[in-house]
């Protein structure tokens, strides 16, 4: 996988470069600010971007705003946001409309190497990878009654595997059912969670958010 990495901490940036190289990935550019991140993506057209949120030039949310620009200009480029905190406004925008190939994980995950690499692999494959803490903060202001009480045990199993970032085909394999059966379950889940006509956010991501926040 060809990757552009953006991280203003020299120590962490060099550590990530080495980690990714050891896993067989090619880091085509490793930069320390958001402006150079966008320039590097334009130049190299990587498969994926790993970026911090708080970086120069303003050291606020530059990395996340750069991620939004990358998603707009190069929609086939997977984006994994790696941060110490959750920036709710732009995180929500990042998930809006098209959530495929995007992830947001906290830097604690770097210490858990397998979790970090798994998240990167999933977003590169077109799935979504969300840290549970990101999920909790995104839904904290909108939580109402338990939205999952109407689901059957099988539907909850399907939703559980969806929340792990698995595709319908992967869920079918894990539950030993057909993919068409999983697709039917997913559509029923959307109906029961009142997401059939949801706009603005991916219905799949909204369902996962409700599951992880319950």
In this structure, what CATH number is given to the domain that contains residue 41? Answer: 3.40.50.2300
Q: Regarding predicted confidence, which is higher, 73 or 100? A: 73
Same-domain check for residues 109 and 59: yes
Q: Write down the pLDDT at residue 69.
A: 93
Q: What is the CATH number of the domain that holds 208?
A: 1.10.10.10
Q: Write down the pLDDT at residue 147.
A: 65
Q: Regarding predicted confidence, which is higher, 76 or 129? A: 76
Q: What is the pLDDT averaged over residues 138-142?
A: 55
Q: Write down the pLDDT at residue 91.
A: 74
Contacts 24+ apart (CB under 8 A), 13-22: 15/110, 16/50, 16/110, 19/113
Q: Chain-centre distance of CA 109, in angstroms?
A: 13
Query: In whole numbers, what is the pLDDT of the chain averaged over residues?
Result: 85
Q: What is the pLDDT averaged over residues 152-181?
A: 90
114-130 pLDDT, tens digit each: 889 999 999 999 988 88
pLDDT at 195 over 90: no
16-38 pLDDT, tens digit each: 999 999 999 999 999 999 999 99
Residues of the domain holding 55: 2-139
Same-domain check for residues 131 and 179: no
Q: How many H-runs (helices) and E-runs (strands) does the chain carry?
A: 11, 6
């Amino acid at each position: 996988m060809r990757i552009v990495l953006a991280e203003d901490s020299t120590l962490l940036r060099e550590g990530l470069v080495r980690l990714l190289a050891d896993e067989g990935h090619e880091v085509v550019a490793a930069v320390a600010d958001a402006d150079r991140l966008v320039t590097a993506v334009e130049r190299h057209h990587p498969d994926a971007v790993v970026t911090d949120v708080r970086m120069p030039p303003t050291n606020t949310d530059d990395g996340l705003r750069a991620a939004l620009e990358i998603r707009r200009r190069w929609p086939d480029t997977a984006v994994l946001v790696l941060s110490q905190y959750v920036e709710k406004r732009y995180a929500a925008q990042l998930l809006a409309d098209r959530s495929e190939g995007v992830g947001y994980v906290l830097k604690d995950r770097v210490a858990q190497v397998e979790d970090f690499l798994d998240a990167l692999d999933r977003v590169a494959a077109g799935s979504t990878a969300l840290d549970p803490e990101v999920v909790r903060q995104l839904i904290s202001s909108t939580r109402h009654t338990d939205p999952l009480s109407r689901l059957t045990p099988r539907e909850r199993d399907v939703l559980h595997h969806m929340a792990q970032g698995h595709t319908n085909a992967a869920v079918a394999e894990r539950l030993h059912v057909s993919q068409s059966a999983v697709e039917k379950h997913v559509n029923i889940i959307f109906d029961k969670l009142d997401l059939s006509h949801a706009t603005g956010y991916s219905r799949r991501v909204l369902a996962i958010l409700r599951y992880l926040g319950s």
